[in-house]
């Protein structure tokens, strides 16, 4: 990190006499004292635990300075920068650092596919530029400035994922990051409990334009009418992606278990991504459009997509010790996203049976039962022969499927019956079978996947 102690002090408008300490170079920044290394700036955040109480640990790990907003006095010998709010100080420092390092910022949001699109975009841009992207799910008011302050010095293109569960959160992130390019992957039903409707979700996602350069690019799905009235007065270049009447339009050539090939309008080139699903092709269209915006040759875009690495738990193929294949997509879920995954899974070739393990989709509000039940339209016993449902909200889908599936092919478990679910799966599946697992992260299906991988 190219920052000095005095630089940081001026950037955050520290209120104490920080010039009592000689200036020195900061090697990095951490808010988790366990991750501190020599020369780091410690950011004690106030949450369930007050980070100030870990200052001794931070110093022992090698912290050379700290933000400070506690009434308790800091260690006398430790250089500190007193601020009213340590989180805001980290955010202000991130704004300063962006202006100093001047990377081009690409912002990505959406109800589903943010992380996959981020991974694809980074792989495409890395063909020609020094890139850095949001690590894991560091996509909120803490994770985004943290990501900015961790980008390598040579970063030219910074790809930032922006998440939200309430209105005005992406507005803040976009204003902080000031992107040149922004993309909305899709409008689903995630967090509809907080935002009231899909229209409310669309408006919240459009907050990504709050800090978007007037000369920049906004990418939106062509098949989303809710966004149409929200883009009319925008000064930015607006491009669409999708399957019909889109600026970047795809036609799938072949879809296999571990890869999908497609062509786009205006090109004879065959693009291949190492993941299944029409929905992932939509994500790839965003990466292609961004690559084109930065004038990356098409063959390099093709190479980047073919070799991109997916963040863990996003459409990940695994194989159990017995040979059963698992399509694990357990990080988040909403009805639109779950239906897209099931549509793709139902067509995947297998010599055994297809089994769907579906957990609750959280934060869907008063219409949750109706939304869960609607997934039945994408479950056919002739295609997905066994269905295992998990969680309170999935009872609504179970009740609908009772008239569609034979009793022995439909299984339901409460969240307290996780071990019974695992036992059922272990006795149900054979080595030649294929399983898809999809749920909101809060349902903990990743732990069930891990157990199946061990057993």
Domain residue spans of the chain = 3-84, 103-307, 316-454
Q: Is 427 exposed, middle or buried (0-12, 13-18, 19+ CB in 10 A)?
A: exposed
Among 2-16, 82-96, 339-353, whose mean pLDDT is lowest? 339-353
Give residue 255's pLDDT band: very low, low, confident or very high (50, 70, 90).
confident
Find the helix or strand (DSSP H, E) in which 221 lies: strand 217-221
Give me the sign of the Cα torsion angle 301, 304, 307, 309: negative
Annotated binding site for ATP: 110-116
266 vs 256: CA distance, rounded Å: 24
**End-to-end Cα separation, the chain, in angstroms:** 44
pLDDT at 172 over 70: yes
Percentage of the chain modeled with pLDDT above 90: 87
pLDDT exceeds cutoff 70 at 313: no
Alpha helices (H) along 18-85: 55-61
Query: pLDDT, tens digit, for every residue of 364-406?
Result: 989 999 999 999 999 999 999 999 999 999 999 999 999 999 9
pLDDT score recorded for residue 314? 67
431 has a pLDDT exceeding 90: yes
Mean pLDDT of 99-126: 96
Q: How confident is the model at residue 329 (pLDDT cuts 50, 70, 90)?
A: confident
* pLDDT at residue 214 greater than cutoff 70: yes
Question: Binding site: residue ranges?
Answer: 110-116
In which residue are the tokens 């989709």 written? 361
Q: How far apart, in whole angstroms, are the C-alpha atoms of residue 332 and residue 336?
A: 12
Strand order in the sheet with 325-329: 316-319, 325-329, 434-438, 354-359, 386-390, 410-413
- pLDDT per position as a tens digit, 239-253: 999 999 999 999 999
Residue 9 confidence (pLDDT) above 70: yes
Contact 291, 159 (CB under 8 A): no
Q: What does the angle CA 301 – CA 304 – CA 307 come to, to the nearest 5 degrees? A: 150
Q: CA 386 to CA 342: how far, in whole Å?
A: 13
pLDDT at 47: 86
pLDDT at 81 exceeding the cut of 70: yes
Instruction: Using the predicted structure, report yes or no on whether residue 336 has a pLDDT greater than 80.
Output: yes
For Cα atoms 120, 124, 126, give the angle at the middle one, nearest 5 degrees.
115
Q: What is the mean pLDDT of the chain?
A: 95
Q: How confident is the model at residue 144 (pLDDT cuts 50, 70, 90)?
A: very high
Q: Which of 65-79, 332-346, 383-397 has the lowest mean pLDDT?
A: 332-346
CATH superfamily of 316-454: Mur ligase, C-terminal domain (3.90.190.20)
Task: Report the pLDDT averaged over residues 100-129.
Answer: 96
CATH topology of domain 103-307: 3.40.1190
Residue 13, pLDDT above cutoff 90: yes
pTM above 0.85, yes or no: yes
Q: Which residue has the tokens 């934060």?
A: 363
CA 39 to chain centre: 31
Look up the CATH architecture of domain 3-84: 3-Layer(aba) Sandwich (3.40)
Predicted pLDDT at 12: 98
Please state the rounded mean pLDDT for residues 449-454.
90
- In this structure, the strands spanning 65-68 and 80-82 are parallel
CA distance 387 to 397: 10
pLDDT at site 287: 98
């Amino acid at each position: 990190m190219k920052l000095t102690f005095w630089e940081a002090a001026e950037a955050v408008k520290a209120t104490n006499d920080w010039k009592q300490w000689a200036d020195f170079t900061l090697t990095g920044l951490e808010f988790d004292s366990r991750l501190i290394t020599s020369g780091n700036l410690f950011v004690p955040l106030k949450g369930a635990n007050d980070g100030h109480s870990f200052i001794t640990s931070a110093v022992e790990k090698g912290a050379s300075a700290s933000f400070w907003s506690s009434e308790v006095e800091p260690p006398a010998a430790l250089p500190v920068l007193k601020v009213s709010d340590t989180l805001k100080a980290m955010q202000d420092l991130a704004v300063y650092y962006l202006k100093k390092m001047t990377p081009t910022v690409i912002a990505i949001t959406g109800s589903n596919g943010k992380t996959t699109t981020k991974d694809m975009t980074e792989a495409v841009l890395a063909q020609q530029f020094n890139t850095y992207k949001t690590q894991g799910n560091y996509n909120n008011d803490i994770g985004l400035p943290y990501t900015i302050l961790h980008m390598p010095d040579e970063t030219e293109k910074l790809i930032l994922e922006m998440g939200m569960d309430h209105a005005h959160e992406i507005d803040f992130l976009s204003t902080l990051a000031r992107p040149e390019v922004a993309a909305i992957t899709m409008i689903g039903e995630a967090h509809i409990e907080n935002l009231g409707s899909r229209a409310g979700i669309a408006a919240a996602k459009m907050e990504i334009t709050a800090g978007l350069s007037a000369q920049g690019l906004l990418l939106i799905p062509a098949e989303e009418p809710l966004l149409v009235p929200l883009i009319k007065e925008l000064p930015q270049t607006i491009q669409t992606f999708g399957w019909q009447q889109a600026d970047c339009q795809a036609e799938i050539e072949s879809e296999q278990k571990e890869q999908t090939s497609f062509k786009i309008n205006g090109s004879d080139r065959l693009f291949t991504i190492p993941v299944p699903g029409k929905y992932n092709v939509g994500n790839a269209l965003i990466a292609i459009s961004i690559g084109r915006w930065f004038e990356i040759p098409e063959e390099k875009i093709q190479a980047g997509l073919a070799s991109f690495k997916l963040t863990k738990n996003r459409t990940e193929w695994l194989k159990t010790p017995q040979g059963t294949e698992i399509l694990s997509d357990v990080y988040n879920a909403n009805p639109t996203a779950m239906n897209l995954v099931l549509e793709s899974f139902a067509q995947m070739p297998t010599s055994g049976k297809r089994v769907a393990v579906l957990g609750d989709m959280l934060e869907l509000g008063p219409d949750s039962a109706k939304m869960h039940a609607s997934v039945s339209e994408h479950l056919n016993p002739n295609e997905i022969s066994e269905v295992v449902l998990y969680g309170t909200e999935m009872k609504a889908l179970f009740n609908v499927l009772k008239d569609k599936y034979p009793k022995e092919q439909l299984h339901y478990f409460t969240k307290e019956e996780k071990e019974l679910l695992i036992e059922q799966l272990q006795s149900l599946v054979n080595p030649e079978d294929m399983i898809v697992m999809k749920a909101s992260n809060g349902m903990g299906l990743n732990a069930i996947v891990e157990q199946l991988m061990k057993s």
